[in-house]
């Protein structure tokens, strides 16, 4: 019998996926406490969409393939999408966004494990393309108490100015506490930057998921922040984008669903630098908190081309 050479086939279940879920459950509990019951409803809708799509795929699977090894489904998209869910967006839009993103990013490339774009980034960009002209994607202020959200449907009040202008006012001495207290305006899932950053470090450094990419991104983000701070009217420290905003969540998303990242060290270095550069460009130049998501997709488009060009120049033969 011919061996199937497919990374997703050879690892149908990864223990890191269970670790990711164990991390997300308590995080989602605290997010719900800060931002209301609607966030918990978004988690349920997202997971139910994934379960329904998986069931449909199993039902439609040809009978001749039932004996073949089952590839991973890509549950990370449905586990992690609530991190980027804006509370003002209607819940009924979530299944359509996730299904279209899965079909574009996963199914159109031959199944999970072969995608060249991170599926969640595709889902967020699809959401931005369809609804950024409305008021549905704005960040919101958290509720005063850490557990007030269990009694309220939604904390839907937007901040009075751009969130990165608010983040820039956080002093470095208060930055650490602000990154895990959930007390700043944000999209609910991105309000806890420090836990997201630590989770991405655990998956990358301890579980071996694209270590070089993660370390390169971490260092390059700090360098680009120091180079760009003050030149665009936004003056922040090198730690601000690592603890606040969308970048901690994107680091977790990228290493949790790492098939779209390069495997070779050279590609990871180039990809990490490009991601950091594009992401910080959107932090400094865009009022949209989700702007750095474009940076991840742009890095995944340009990275392989630039790596190939560099390697060819280094080995002209």
Q: What is the pLDDT of residue 12?
A: 43
Whether the CB-CB separation of 20 and 79 falls below 8 Å is answered with: yes
Name the residue ranges covered by the structural domains of the chain.
Answer: 7-314
Q: Please report which residue ranges of 3-153 form alpha helices under DSSP H.
A: 7-10, 15-35, 37-60, 76-80, 93-105, 119-131
Give the containing element (helix H, strand E) for 308.
helix 292-314
Tens of pLDDT along 133-162?
665 688 899 998 888 889 999 877 888 888
Closest by Cα among 278, 199, 188, 213 to 241 = 278
Rounded distance between C-alpha atoms, residue 26 and residue 316, angstroms: 52
Rounded distance between C-alpha atoms, residue 165 and residue 77, angstroms: 30
Q: What is the pLDDT of residue 134?
A: 60
Q: Please report which residue ranges of 169-264 form alpha helices under DSSP H.
A: 172-181, 193-201, 211-228, 240-243, 247-256
**Residue that is written with structure tokens 């574009």 in the block:** 104
Rounded distance between C-alpha atoms, residue 245 and residue 290, angstroms: 8
Contacts of 89 (CB under 8 A, 6+ apart): 127, 131, 136, 137
317 residues of the chain, pLDDT tens digit each: 344 444 544 444 456 677 888 899 999 999 999 999 999 999 999 999 999 999 988 888 776 554 444 457 888 899 999 999 999 889 999 999 999 999 998 888 888 878 889 999 999 999 988 776 665 688 899 998 888 889 999 877 888 888 988 998 999 889 999 999 989 999 999 999 999 999 999 998 887 788 999 999 999 999 999 998 877 778 899 999 999 999 999 999 999 888 889 888 989 999 999 999 999 999 988 888 999 999 999 999 998 888 888 877 656 55
Q: What is the pLDDT of residue 83?
A: 94
Closest by Cα among 146, 140, 142 to 30 = 146
With 0-12 CB in 10 A as exposed, 13-18 as middle and 19+ as buried, what is 211?
middle
Virtual CA dihedral for 129, 134, 135, 137, nearest 10 degrees?
-10
Contacts of 314 (CB under 8 A, 6+ apart): none
Rounded distance between C-alpha atoms, residue 102 and residue 54, angstroms: 11
Q: What is the pLDDT of residue 75?
A: 87
Name the token pair of 108: 């159109």
Q: What is the pLDDT of residue 114?
A: 82
With 0-12 CB in 10 A as exposed, 13-18 as middle and 19+ as buried, what is 67?
exposed
């Amino acid at each position: 019998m011919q061996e199937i050479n497919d990374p997703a086939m050879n690892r149908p279940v990864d223990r890191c996926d269970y670790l990711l879920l164990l991390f997300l459950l308590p995080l989602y509990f605290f997010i719900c406490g800060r931002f209301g019951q609607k966030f918990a409803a978004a988690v349920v809708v997202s997971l139910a969409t994934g379960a329904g799509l998986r069931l449909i795929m199993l039902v439609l699977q040809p009978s001749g393939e039932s004996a073949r090894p089952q590839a991973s489904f890509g549950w990370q998209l449905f586990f992690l999408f609530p991190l980027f869910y804006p509370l003002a967006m209607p819940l009924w839009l979530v299944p359509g966004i996730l299904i279209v993103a899965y079909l574009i990013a996963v199914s159109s490339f031959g199944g999970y494990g072969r995608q060249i774009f991170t599926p969640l980034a595709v889902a967020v960009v699809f959401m931005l393309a369809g609804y950024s002209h409305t008021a549905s994607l704005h960040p919101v202020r958290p509720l005063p108490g850490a557990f007030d959200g269990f009694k309220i449907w939604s904390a839907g009040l937007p901040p009075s100015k751009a969130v990165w202008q608010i983040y820039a006012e956080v002093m470095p001495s208060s930055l650490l506490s602000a990154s895990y207290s959930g007390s700043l305006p944000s999209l609910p899932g991105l309000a806890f930057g420090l836990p997201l950053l630590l989770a991405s470090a655990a998956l990358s450094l301890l579980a071996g998921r694209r270590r070089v990419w993660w370390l390169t991104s971490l260092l390059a983000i700090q360098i680009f922040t120091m180079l760009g701070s003050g030149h665009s009217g936004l003056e922040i420290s090198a730690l601000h984008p690592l603890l606040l905003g969308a970048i901690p969540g994107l680091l977790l998303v990228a290493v949790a669903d790492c098939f779209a990242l390069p495997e070779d060290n050279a590609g990871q270095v180039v990809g990490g630098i490009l991601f950091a550069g594009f992401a910080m460009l959107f932090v400094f130049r865009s009022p949209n908190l989700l702007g750095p998501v474009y940076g991840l997709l742009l890095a995944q488009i340009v990275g392989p081309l630039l790596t190939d060009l560099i390697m060819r120049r280094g080995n002209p033969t």
